[in-house]
Amino acid sequence: MAERASSGPPRGRRRGSPDTRSAILAAARSSFAEHGFAGTTIRAVAASAGVDAALVHHYFGTKDELFLAALELPVDPRKLIAPAVAGPVEQAAERFLGVFLTAWDDPDIRPSLVAVARGIMDPAANRLLSEGVLPVVIEPIGVALGIDRPAERMPLVASQVIGLILMRYVLVVEPLASMPRDRVIATYAPTIQRYLTGDLP
């Protein structure tokens, strides 16, 4: 009864208790974000999720696989940054910073992003930036914006955004950590806009 018809992609819950699985995943994200990869123990993740350590292995296999699973963002970054590329390129920096801060200020996805940031720093998984974040998130923005030499300019943008993210959200350095969103945008927009469309040597 109430079985799904055979139309559309397979939706609905997978086998196993999805609550338990996602609880483990959420606990893993928090731990990876707070203690890094090496500083996270399977036992602590299990305890934080209220389950046994063996269950973590049952769902995710090794610690590495759990880490990769925890890095899967709950939202598609490409969808998130779509508003940044829609509009005149002259105000692209403000829109870009806006969607970025919106994502990072969302308490639902910030832990995942912090985990990604820390994972990038961990030598055990730092192909993540060069093979992941940069080509699938950052560079397509430059291409979509139609800017000049995107492969050259977007890393400049990334260098400033990563530094800001690090100081404001990961290391929580004042006064950046407590600075209002609009002020952050107004402060950094000229820098980003110059990297996007300004004169470069």
Partner DNA sequence: GTCTATAAATCGATAGAC
Partner DNA sequence: GTCTATCGATTTATAGAC
User: What does the binding site for DNA look like in residue numbers (CB under 7 A)?
Assistant: 15-17, 20-21, 40-44, 51-55, 57-58, 61-64
Q: Judging by beta carbons within 10 Å of its beta carbon (0-12, 13-18, 19+), is residue 77 exposed, middle or buried?
A: buried
- Minimum Å gap between C-beta 41 and a copy of itself is 10
- Minimum Å gap between C-beta 112 and a copy of itself is 16
User: Among residues 42, 84, 120, 141, which is the contact residue for a copy of itself, using CB under 8 A?
Assistant: 120
Give residue 2's identity as a one-letter amino acid code: A
Nearer to DNA, 47 or 73 (CB): 47
How many C-beta atoms surround the C-beta of residue 65 within 10 A?
Answer: 12
* Cα–Cα dist 137/114, whole Å: 16
What does 116 bind: a copy of itself, DNA, none (CB cut-off 5 to 8 Å by kind)? none
Nearer to DNA, 16 or 198 (CB): 16
The C-alpha angle 132, 165, 142, rounded to 5 degrees, equals 50
- Rule CB under 8 A: is residue 175 a binding residue for a copy of itself? yes
* Cα–Cα dist 105/125, whole Å: 25
What does 158 bind: DNA, a copy of itself, none (CB cut-off 5 to 8 Å by kind)? a copy of itself
DSSP 5: P
